[in-house]
Each structure stands twice: as C-alpha cells, then as structure tokens.
Structure 1
Amino acid sequence: MSIDLYGLPVSQVVGVKGKKLEELHTLGISSVGQLLDYYPFRYEDYTLRDLTEVKDGDKITVQAKIVGIPQLQMYGRTKSRMTCKVMVDTWFVTTVWFNRHFMKDKLASGAELVLTGKWDQKRSQLTVTEAEIPGQGNSQTGTLQPVYSLTAALTQKWFRQITRQALLQFAELIPEVLPAELLRRYDLLPRKTAVSLLHMPGDLARGQRARRRMVYEELFLFQLKMQAYRALNHKRADGVAHPVDLPAVRTFVRSLPFTLTDSQKKVTAEILDDLQQPYCMNRLLQGDVGAGKTVVAAISLFAVVKAGYQGALMVPTEILAEQHKRSLDRLFEPYGIQTALLTGSLTAKQRREVLASMQMGLVDIVVGTHALIQEDVFFRALGLVVTDEQHRFGVNQRSVLRRKGMNPDVLSMTATPIPRTLAITAFGDLDVSTLRELPKGRKPILTYSVPHSLLERVLGFISREVEAGRQAYVICPLIEESEKLDVQNAIDIHAQLQFAFPAYRVGLLHGRMNPSEKDEIMREFSEGRVHVLVSTTVIEVGVDVPNSTLMIVYDADRFGLSQLHQLRGRVGRGEHQSYCVLIADPKNEVGKERMKAMTDTNDGFEIARRDLELRGPGDFFGTKQSGVPDFRLADMVVDFETMEQARDDAAELVRLADFWTGAPYLPLRAFLQREHIFDSDLLD
C-alpha cells in the first residue's frame, strides 16, 4: 500500500520541529508532499570562476590565498567593515567583509579559503558574502545550490538541509502521475528523479532536464483539468437552451445609434449561439479599451430577457454601475425592459423594493456591485450573468453570483487584452471571444513621452485644454511621500496644481478615500464641475467622461505597459482630439522601452505582447486575483509552446474511452477527483 505524501505531516522529516515547524506552516507547507513541491526560484552557482572571464558586478566563487593582514573597523558593538588582501591565481584582490569580524582569526597569512561575493572590476575588489575552508564537509564549491522564497526566520542553509533529508527519507515514495506513453514520447525523467534534481541539481544540464519534466507535468495537469471540465460540461446538458428571438434581436441591433463593427457582429453571433445550447456558456469577452464590449453585453442581455429570463451585470464600482444602468436604460426604454440598480449605497427601503421586484420578476436586468452576491439577493429566473472587468472579482464572488440562478450562462468581460492564442490556452475552461476593431469615427489618442524638465510646458498644455472647455486627468503612482521611492505623489501634485491653476477646480482621488467620497468626486468630474482630476491608479477602471481629453501620467516609467494603456483609455471617448502625456525618467532603460511602445502604437494587443516580453506573465495577468494559474515552475511566455503541446495532449487523452476507466490513467482520474472536476458546479 502506497503512502500519501500529502497526508503525511511535515514533522515526519527528521529535524523539523518547534518554531521551524510553525514557520513552514506559514509558508503553506504542512505535509511532506508540500515540502517536496516547494521548488527553488533560482540557483546560486558556486562553480569556481576565472577572473579573466567574469564581468563587473557578477556574483562569483573563487579560491583565494590570504596574503595580507586583515584591517578591521568597528561601528558600535555589532557593525563592522573588514578588508584583507588575497591572491586569486595571479591576481591581487582586496576582499571586503561587512559585519563578519568573527572571521578575523581565520584570515591568517597563507590560509586558503573559498570565497563567494560580488566582483568590482575597477577596484579589483570582492565583497564577500560567504566563505568556507576547502576540504571541510558539506562543501558548496563546484555546485548549484537552490534558493527558496522563505520567511526571515528560516535560513537557506536549514531549508536545503531539510529538503535533502525529506528526499533521503521519502524520494522512493514519490508517485508517478504521467502515463508511460507521454514519458516515452517526450523522453521525460521519472517524477521522483525530477523532483530530487530540482532540489539538488548538481549541474545546470541536469537541473534543466528536471525542470523540463516538471514544467510539462504542471502544464499538462492544468490543461487536463480544463479539457476534462469542457468534455464533461458539454456532455452534461444542465444549462438552459434559451429560445432566442433572432428577429427581435436584429430589430434591436438596427435601432442602435451606430453600426456594429465586424468584430462585434462575429462575437455577438458566438454568444447568441451559446445561449441557445443546452449547456452553460462560460465565455470570456476581451477587447481593447473602447472596443464596444458593453454593447455586446447589452445585446446578450436583451436576447435573454426576450427569451423570458433575467440578467445580471456585476461591475467593480458604484459609479460604474450607475453609468452602465443609464446606458442600458437609454437602449432598452423603447422595448419596455425594466432595469434596476443594486449597490451598497441604497437605503434600506430602496433595497427592499429592488429585491422584491427581482424575486417577483418585475425587474428584467439588475446592474450592481458586490451587493449582488449578498445572501438575501434572489432572482425569479436568472439566465445570464455578465461580469465586467472580471479579474477584479475573486473566483468565489463570481461563483456565488452564478449560483443565484439554475446554472445561468456566464459572460466575463475584460479590457486587459491578452494575445488570443495565449488567452485560449490559459483560460482552458473558457471560450474566448475577442473584439479587435474600434468603432468607426474614433480618433486615435496622440501619445507623447517627455522628461520632468518639461513640466512647465505640460502645465501649459493642461491650461489650454481646460480653457477650451475640456478636462484632464493627472495620474501619480503614490498617495503620499515615500522614503523608499523618489516618485511624485498624489497629495503633493494636487497641492501644486491647485497653486498653479487657482481659477480651476482641481479634484483628488485615491484608494484610501471611502467609497462615497470616491463616487462623489467622480460624479463631479463626470458632470464637469471638476476641471482637473489628480488620481492614483484607482481611475484605471472608471466612468466614461467623453469631455476628458488629456491624460497626464507622472513617473510613467514606474507603471507596467498594460496599466499605462488602460489609463490612456480613460480619454479619447468623445468627439474631440485626445492626448496622453507620459512624464518619465529618460535614464530608466526599462521605462524607455515602455515609453517607446506607448508612443509607437495604440493597439492594446500589441501593447500586451510587449508587456509580456518586458514583465513576464505574473505581473501582466495580476495572477493572484485574476484566476490565471499561478504556476510553481512554468512561465506562460517562456513555456508557451509546452503549454500548447500539453493542451493538445490533454484534449487527445480525454477523448479516449479508456481514459475514463483504464488502470493506467487511475492517477490522473484521482487528480481530477481531488480538483472536484466531477462535481456538478462549474469550474472557476
């Protein structure tokens, strides 16, 4: 009988007890299996280096002979700086030791040490971080040593020791999960070998081979979960096949005050087709800022209401909810469709009336914030749930709203463009629709990057736009002054602009204000009573203010590309020419790349591609909140081809009848069982 390493307490590893055990628990490690799955995020290379081959600033390991007398300076009782001359091959090198005065006695002339530290080429100086005497046990020299993400109370040395001890005790019990045919097809290491090598690679080649095996497994299991869900969900006709009245929908579309783009027509057709199927729609609608996602959502809601069901639209802020309700009222009024607003600021009486109308079916569409998912909220017949800016809601929030109906169809919308193939692969459980075109007549936003020295000209630009009757946003990265970052902050900038523009009303918006204060300032801005709005990035997903034509971003090099693009999308929504001015440090190399991308293109998908290259997927997706998988080893950009291969392999496997019953696939079915894929609820 095999032992489940995930059910075996980590205290079974020799040397794990007391406070160290508590610290492991804070890292989420409570079992032996979780300890072995806690992989290093990088390796320290302790291979001996030749000084002729290293670059300035490299971290290096060298063998040195002491040739000088150590010079020690103390600062107080514990702080110190010690220097000592050594020979490395034929080089005279000055070594510097901070707070290591206890090493002084070991630096006797003629003694040999292996030193690791940062190399300063100009000074021929090594700032020592680690030292060991050759020939003593547990030498790191010539090896790759894992580096883990740990709490301050755990040292790398101790954690390395206990992972090695765990492997010594339990490596033979690590189960294989991949079928033999996949191991053969891709020449993958056995699982127990790969896990051992990830913690103790020995050399780079073996470490890379171990990573290749475990990255494939991680991506394959993720895709298997998605593909099995899709297979089961499509077989299980537990959704509602809405009888969509296509002639009525066409009449509604013809009545819109504009013509749909080809993209909007294509996406709308996909959604209407889904609504008529007996399984639950689970579709992601992504489109650039201003691409017309709301209109597509409105058509979808119209179709569901005409089929006899209710719709819900959940948005992240009250001001956005109010804006959506006004937009929907204008579109639906001629058709007698009743909408309601459900937010936290309703009075108790107003709330009771809305809830009663929802339960009796007197309201067709409810627009709301997280107030929609409270326990006392019920619908008579909820048929479609639309979540706008879906990444801003947690998985649990979205699934609670979905359970307000009998498996309603779900449409998630996001304005964070993701390259389509990546989106399809990452969101394996979702169908992905993409809006690529902007509505006709939209003027492209003119974008400029300027240094801080041109601030006076920027202020003049703001003044000219406001004098012409327009409004401006001014975005800052921080709320208050910070010792850590020398960046402009919203409170200081607000004070400066009030002084610079005494005749204008300058508003302030930031994340520490309470919701009613935020809503009030946004309302004043949208109604034109505030001329210049100084804000932190809380404005990123905000209301539509067609009269705002100028977006100024201070310290723009501190922002990610996709975030800058979202901010730029706050303007350019009216008939007037709009501008985005990015104030950035021209010496910041990464910032320079971002500024070039922003001034080169207005295409959100191209921006997203470059952002992935510059930042990597974790920052790009906002992994912790968006539901995009937070992989231990895999990188969705670097390992994209492996992800696609894993998706194809998983899809091929779930189509086999033998997969659902055969003995070779028992570990994979057990994995799906643990992931609740066989439960009736939708996967989130």
Structure 2
Amino acid sequence: MALSLFHMPISKLQGVGPQKAEELHALGISTVGALIEYYPFRYEDYRIRELSEAKDGEKITVQGTIASLPVVQRYGGKSRLSCRVTIGATLVTAVWFNRPFLKDQLVVGREITLTGKWDQRRKYMTVADSEFPDRGTLKTGTLQPVYSVGGNVTQTLIRKLIDKALTQYADSIPELLPDDLLRRHGLMSRAEAISIIHRPENTKAGQEARRRMVYEEFFLFQLRLQAYRALHTKKTDGIPHAVDNADIREFVDRLPFELTDSQKQVVNEILHDMKQPFAMNRLLQGDVGAGKTVVAAIGLYATIKAGHQGALMVPTEILAEQHVRSLSRIFEPYGMQVGLLTGSLSDRKRRDVIASLQMGLLDIVVGTHALIQEDVFFRSLGLVVTDEQHRFGVNQRSILRRKGLNPDVLSMTATPIPRTLAITVFGDLDVSTIRERPKGRKPIKTYSVKHDMMDRVLGFIRKEAQQGRQTFFICPLIEESEKLDVQNAIDLHAQLSQSLPELAVGLLHGRMTAAEKEATMGAFAAGDTDVLVSTTVIEVGVDVPNATLMIVMDADRFGLSQLHQLRGRVGRGEHQSYCILIADPKSENGQERMRAMTDTDDGFEISRRDLEIRGPGEFFGTKQSGMPEFRLASLIEDFDALELARDDAAQLTALPEFWSSAVYAGLREYLARDANSREEPLD
C-alpha cells in the first residue's frame, strides 16, 4: 500500500466528517489505506438459484411472483407479514417479521426476489431481504461483502465508503511483489486482488484474489524473518565454544538414565551450533516429560567447560526452585555452582548472587524475570536457556541475551507444534524436536466424567493412597467468585480434608509466599502430603514421580494445551498414572477438548487440535511471540501457501542482488518501514 494512502486521514474521503471519522477510528480505520485493507470476513450470496437446489434450513436467494394478498398479524408490539409466492412450480409461504411497511408493495402478480431461510417441509421461507426487479436491484445476482462493524458504522456505510475509496484510489495501490514471483505463482496484481476481494464478481475470482493476498501476507511476514536471519545470523560475532566431545560423552554416561535417540539427535544439533563462531538461536520443543531439561543441562555443561556461564530463565518461582535442585544434583559432583535469582529473595541474598555472577563464582543462575533487571551482570555469559519460551515476550528474551556478548540462545517449549509449522512460524529460529518419551514411561490413562461422579473419584484417590501414591487436584480459581460458578481451591481443600480425614491434604496457590509454596511443595514431594489441592501454579515443570493421579475440576474451563500440561505432572515414575477431567457436559467447546484429551496423549496431536479450536492468535500468544494477526490468511487452512512463501522469502534474501537491485527496492523500503515501526533497525 502506498505510504501516501496510509498517511491520508480517513476524513479526506468524501462523506466522512469528524463524527464518522471518530467512529471509524474505533474500528482501527484511521487512514484511507487502512479502509481499503479492511477486508470482509465473509460474503452474503445473493445469486439467484433454483428452489430445488436448496437444502432444508439453508439461506437462499430465489425469484418468483406474488400469488396472494399479504396478511399482517400484530402481537406485543411486533408484527408478522406473510403472503404466498409462486417460485417455479412451487407455492411458497413468505414471512417477514417486523416489516409491516412492505404490505402495500406486495401486489399480486408482481415479481419479487427473496433471500431467506428455507423450510423444505413446510414450504416456508423466513425472509431476511427482498427486492423488486421492476425497481432495479442493488444486491440480486451478487456476492455482498460482510464486514466487522460496530456502533453507528453499518454494513451499508462501510460498503459505500470502501466502494468510494476504491473508485477514487485503486490506481494508487502499488505492487509490492516482484514480477517474477507474480508470474511464477500465477498471481493477479495487488490492485486487482484488493478490488475483487471487496467486489467479487463470482466465487472463482474471489478465491483467486484471496489466494494472491494470502500469499502476500505470508510472504511479507516471512521476508521480515528471513531478512533478520540473513543480516543477524551466521556472523562471526558469537561465542565459539571449545567443546571436547570426550568430556560431553563422560558427562552423559554419568547421568542416572540413558538418553533416547531423539535426545541424542537434538544434543548433537545444539553442540554443533555452540561450536560455531556465530550465535545459536534454537528452539527446542518436545512433549511434556520428554526430557528437555537434561538436554539443556548438557548445553549448560558445555558452556561451563568452555569457560563461560549459563542462565536459565523460567516463568515461575516454583519452577526456578525445582530447576536449581535438579541442576545442583547434576553439577555439584563436578564442582560447578548453581544459583537462584527470583523476586522474593532478600536484598542481601540478591546482592550476593549478583556479586557472585559478576565475579564468575556462579557457573549457572536459574531465575525468573529477576534475571533481566538492570543491575544483573555476568562475568562471561555463554548460553541463555528460556523454559516455556512463549511465556516471555520477545523483548524480555532479548534483554537477557544482551547481558552477554552474543551468547548462544536455546528456547524450550512443552507446547509442541508440527515441526514444519514451527520452522515456518518461528522463522528466525532453528528448530530441534524431541519426539520420543524417556524409556519406561507408561502412557497416562485419561477419563472425562461429570460432577456427580465425585464419590467414585474420592474412592479412586483412597485406592491410590493405600498403595502409597499421591494425587494432584486442580481448580481454576483460588477463592469463590460471584461471577463464575466453578470450584475454587480454598473451598475444595476444606471439603477434601473433611471427606478424606485419613489422608493429608495440602493447599497450593499463587497468593502464598515463596516460603509457604516451598514448604507445601516440599511436603508433597517428600510424600508427607497425600493430596495436593492447587491452582494452575503447578502447571509447568513440577516433578513428583510418586504422584499418579491428576484430577482437574471444571476441566471445560481450561485450554487444551493447558490440560495436557497438567496431565504431564503425573506419569513421571514407574507406576501407572491417571488423569480424570471433571467437566460440564453442556459446554460444547469443553466437550470437544475432553474428547481430544481422551483420544490421545500425543502433545503434537493435542496442539494441532488446540490450534483448530482456539485459532493461531491465542494459541501462539500473539503479544508474546511476535506472531501477527493475519487479515485474511489462516495458519491452518493456508499452510501450503505459508511454506511456499517461506521458501520464496528465504531464496530471495539469500541473493546479493536483493540487497542492491532496483527491482527489489520496494521490498527493501517495506522492510525498513517495518523495522522502524518496531524500533528494530535491520542494519
């Protein structure tokens, strides 16, 4: 879009005064360019069809002749207008609600076009729209765009304004894509595609126009990522870790378990990157309990042996404390020191940790957002690991990276997505995937039950406790809410303590102090507590191998990936584990999630279904991951176009002439504009 159109206030368009401009601003339309790119989300089909083609309950447009005098019935301030209409050889009853003013126009023998819902059994049509051919028509025979509107901005107004803007400025819409890409993929021009999207002549033209703009959206997104890779990776300004393979083999051999083939593969990929003179930027994804932490530990060991320090940033203090315990067990035999830095440390302890980092007395620091505060410095930061990377914003991760001189970065996530989609969406990252589970892990048996089965659930808890096993019991809330009729942790803790007097029932939630959480989790991990009632504070990373039962109250209130994360808290020991989801059977989306959870325990399949149910914006966490909200494109439906655009962008940015030739000047200007808008200059 020409910069001038995006700088041209919407008030410059004829018919848009100050008040209309303000109402359009509320929809995110402040310029003429933004109006032209305000695409419809669907179309109303006003093309005339034969009645015989219509399915029962379908919305259809038909043409006929009025066959009887109209009748108006009034009731409670509302009205029902009806008459008979002959459509082909069928006599149909046409009904309009609350439009008595049409009565005088319904003259026997007059032709009429009806659009409405067809009831096949009763030969009855509920009319949404009607027109008379003898007056000339506005909609009949067309596909009418439907826009997202609100306030005083109606469909009629937005259609009229877009039509006016296209008539006046269509010639000012420049082409962004190079001619060779247009020819290679058989794409129409940008101006033509935008015009057709707003005013499609037929379905085929609309599909071709959408194909063109979907490809462009993906291509421009990928161009940013690939340009970043071309300019910022493979530079010799990273830390080439001098890693001795014999040291690594010895370290791995002394681990208390054998690595899976999948773990070995990703370790090799990470160590290969760490040896290079450019900074690693790798995403490690794997299912819950797939063994990502031990892979990260091998990377941290490599950076320490090469004379540097490592940092592990995690989203919660509980998880940070757990990682410190597990990493200390691994590294202490080698004389390597692991420290903790969280917001709840006392000032004195915090000063000690920061000083130890600066002097190089600490080899590894594990922490929360406290790691990225201004006064935290390292002697020599060699590797940054972020756990559950989607929980941290792009800026937060880059601040930690700047604590060193281009350290290697390993981002981990237990929300796996198909590798091809991960490579495409996180285009600035290399992707490693752990597909196998650690040997000896048994699949978790998952059941979905109604609330009235609570007595049986309690019996199951007793049975597991008698065998020395423990139970997680998760609630969506900490305390009772007036707005939500769902179970809360405090009340449930009281109820279970009464219902299970022979068992020790603990309580864990986010409002407790760090010391209280530590004591509660410590008691549960030590086996002193049989049942732990908790909110989702335990969702990520908490490891209690003796816990075999995960019960989630009001499970329909949780997202699919979140339920899978919770399920992953059990099944970490040698015994069979179970997940029981207590859900409302009337919740349609909830039941869809319950079916997915009981059908499979494969995190990649779970995330695919989650992507379908929630959509990409919420799934990826648009604000967190830098994932854009595409106007037309769908990450699921248009995946082939996404891969195509990625390949094209990667090939183009690898060409020296892309950075110098006049042919690509428009795309370079786009990149410069985009970088400036995000305050991330590309040079």
Q: What residue identity is the alignment partner of 1:36?
A: I
Q: Specify whether residues 233 and 497 from structure 1 end up closer, same or farther in structure 2 by C-alpha distance, changes over 3 A only.
A: same
SS of the aligned residue for 1:675 comes to: helix
State the match for 2:399 in structure 1. 400
SS of the aligned residue for 2:95 comes to: strand
**How far did residue 424 of structure 1 move?**
1.4
State the match for 2:385 in structure 1. 386
Q: Is the 8 A contact 2:286 2:435 kept in 1?
A: yes
**How far did residue 335 of structure 1 move?**
1.8
**How far did residue 224 of structure 1 move?**
2.2
Q: Is the 8 A contact 1:67 1:87 kept in 2?
A: no
Q: 1:199-214 alignment to 2 at 5 Å?
A: 199-214=198-213
Q: 1:252-331 alignment to 2 at 5 Å?
A: 252-331=251-330
The answer for unaligned runs of 5 or more in structure 1 is none
State the match for 2:85 in structure 1. 87
TM-score (ref. length: structure 2): 0.89
**How far did residue 383 of structure 1 move?**
1.8
Please say if 1:43 is aligned against 2:51.
Answer: no
Point out the more displaced range, 187-196 or 415-424.
415-424
Please say if 1:439 is aligned against 2:441.
Answer: no
Q: What residue identity is the alignment partner of 1:645?
A: L
Please say if 1:332 is aligned against 2:334.
Answer: no
Cα distance in 2 for partners of 1:61, 1:679 equals 47
Q: Per-residue CA shift, 1:159-209, capped at 9, x if unaligned? A: 222222221222111110111111111110100011111122232111111
**How far did residue 413 of structure 1 move?**
0.2
**How far did residue 500 of structure 1 move?**
3.4
Q: What residue identity is the alignment partner of 1:247?
A: A
**How far did residue 618 of structure 1 move?**
4.1
**How far did residue 142 of structure 1 move?**
2.6
Q: Specify whether residues 345 and 661 from structure 1 end up closer, same or farther in structure 2 by C-alpha distance, changes over 3 A only.
A: same
Q: What residue identity is the alignment partner of 1:304?
A: T
**How far did residue 327 of structure 1 move?**
0.9
**How far did residue 261 of structure 1 move?**
1.5
SS of the aligned residue for 1:541 comes to: coil
**How far did residue 116 of structure 1 move?**
4.3
Q: Per-residue CA shift, 1:538-583, capped at 9, x if unaligned? A: 5432522222211223454665543332221111112322111234
**How far did residue 314 of structure 1 move?**
0.8
State the match for 1:234 in structure 2. 233
Q: Per-residue CA shift, 1:101-157, capped at 9, x if unaligned? A: 674666756477655444455665555555556566772233222223344453222
State the match for 1:366 in structure 2. 365
Cα distance in 2 for partners of 1:487, 1:146 equals 41
**How far did residue 415 of structure 1 move?**
0.5
**How far did residue 313 of structure 1 move?**
0.8
Q: What residue identity is the alignment partner of 2:303?
A: V
Q: Is the 8 A contact 1:472 1:552 kept in 2?
A: yes
SS of the aligned residue for 1:241 comes to: coil
State the match for 2:674 in structure 1. 675
Q: Per-residue CA shift, 1:375-410, capped at 9, x if unaligned? A: 222222222111100011111211222222222211
Q: 1:144-543 alignment to 2 at 5 Å?
A: 144-452=143-451, 454-476=453-475, 497-506=496-505, 525-528=524-527, 530-535=529-534, 537-543=536-542
Cα distance in 1 for partners of 2:290, 2:61 equals 54
State the match for 2:5 in structure 1. 5
Q: Is the 8 A contact 1:601 1:607 kept in 2?
A: yes
Cα distance in 2 for partners of 1:319, 1:574 equals 20
Q: What residue identity is the alignment partner of 2:301?
A: F
Q: Is the 8 A contact 1:244 1:307 kept in 2?
A: yes
State the match for 1:73 in structure 2. 75
Cα distance in 2 for partners of 1:7, 1:302 equals 53
SS of the aligned residue for 2:473 comes to: strand
Cα distance in 2 for partners of 1:370, 1:381 equals 20
Cα distance in 2 for partners of 1:271, 1:171 equals 50
Q: What residue identity is the alignment partner of 1:74?
A: G
**How far did residue 283 of structure 1 move?**
0.2
Cα distance in 1 for partners of 2:578, 2:153 equals 51
SS of the aligned residue for 1:676 comes to: helix
The answer for unaligned runs of 5 or more in structure 2 is none
Q: Specify whether residues 59 and 564 from structure 1 end up closer, same or farther in structure 2 by C-alpha distance, changes over 3 A only.
A: farther
Q: Specify whether residues 342 and 668 from structure 1 end up closer, same or farther in structure 2 by C-alpha distance, changes over 3 A only.
A: same
Point out the more displaced range, 186-195 or 331-340.
331-340
**How far did residue 289 of structure 1 move?**
0.6
Q: Is the 8 A contact 2:72 2:100 kept in 1?
A: no
Q: Specify whether residues 93 and 118 from structure 1 end up closer, same or farther in structure 2 by C-alpha distance, changes over 3 A only.
A: same
SS of the aligned residue for 1:70 comes to: strand
Q: Is the 8 A contact 1:526 1:543 kept in 2?
A: no
SS of the aligned residue for 1:412 comes to: strand
Point out the more displaced range, 526-535 or 655-664.
526-535
Q: Specify whether residues 564 and 116 from structure 1 end up closer, same or farther in structure 2 by C-alpha distance, changes over 3 A only.
A: farther
Q: What residue identity is the alignment partner of 1:84?
A: S
**How far did residue 63 of structure 1 move?**
5.1
Q: Specify whether residues 545 and 81 from structure 1 end up closer, same or farther in structure 2 by C-alpha distance, changes over 3 A only.
A: farther
Cα distance in 2 for partners of 1:517, 1:48 equals 70
Q: Is the 8 A contact 1:72 1:101 kept in 2?
A: no
Q: What residue identity is the alignment partner of 2:626?
A: G
Cα distance in 1 for partners of 2:538, 2:599 equals 24
Please say if 1:34 is aligned against 2:34.
Answer: yes
Cα distance in 2 for partners of 1:136, 1:238 equals 73
SS of the aligned residue for 1:423 comes to: helix
Q: Specify whether residues 581 and 348 from structure 1 end up closer, same or farther in structure 2 by C-alpha distance, changes over 3 A only.
A: same
Cα distance in 1 for partners of 2:280, 2:138 equals 58
SS of the aligned residue for 1:291 comes to: coil
State the match for 1:666 in structure 2. 665
Q: Is the 8 A contact 1:69 1:108 kept in 2?
A: no
SS of the aligned residue for 1:139 comes to: coil
SS of the aligned residue for 2:643 comes to: helix
Q: Is the 8 A contact 2:447 2:579 kept in 1?
A: yes
Point out the more displaced range, 507-516 or 400-409.
507-516
Q: Per-residue CA shift, 1:298-338, capped at 9, x if unaligned? A: 11112112222222111111111111111111111122222
Cα distance in 1 for partners of 2:525, 2:85 equals 70
Q: Specify whether residues 60 and 253 from structure 1 end up closer, same or farther in structure 2 by C-alpha distance, changes over 3 A only.
A: same
Q: Is the 8 A contact 1:13 1:169 kept in 2?
A: no
Point out the more displaced range, 392-401 or 538-547.
538-547
Q: Is the 8 A contact 1:82 1:96 kept in 2?
A: yes
Q: What residue identity is the alignment partner of 1:374?
A: Q
Cα distance in 2 for partners of 1:134, 1:633 equals 34
Q: Per-residue CA shift, 1:437-460, capped at 9, x if unaligned? A: 111122221223445554432232
Cα distance in 2 for partners of 1:257, 1:550 equals 25
Q: Is the 8 A contact 1:478 1:487 kept in 2?
A: yes
Q: What residue identity is the alignment partner of 2:323?
A: H
Identity of aligned residues (%): 64
Q: Specify whether residues 509 and 46 from structure 1 end up closer, same or farther in structure 2 by C-alpha distance, changes over 3 A only.
A: farther
TM-score (ref. length: structure 1): 0.88
Q: Is the 8 A contact 1:552 1:580 kept in 2?
A: yes
Cα distance in 1 for partners of 2:276, 2:678 equals 21
Q: Is the 8 A contact 2:382 2:407 kept in 1?
A: yes
Q: Specify whether residues 541 and 481 from structure 1 end up closer, same or farther in structure 2 by C-alpha distance, changes over 3 A only.
A: same
Q: What residue identity is the alignment partner of 2:193?
A: A
Point out the more displaced range, 440-449 or 80-89.
80-89
Q: Specify whether residues 117 and 290 from structure 1 end up closer, same or farther in structure 2 by C-alpha distance, changes over 3 A only.
A: same
Q: Specify whether residues 482 and 198 from structure 1 end up closer, same or farther in structure 2 by C-alpha distance, changes over 3 A only.
A: farther
Q: Specify whether residues 363 and 23 from structure 1 end up closer, same or farther in structure 2 by C-alpha distance, changes over 3 A only.
A: farther
State the match for 1:21 in structure 2. 21
Cα distance in 1 for partners of 2:595, 2:93 equals 42
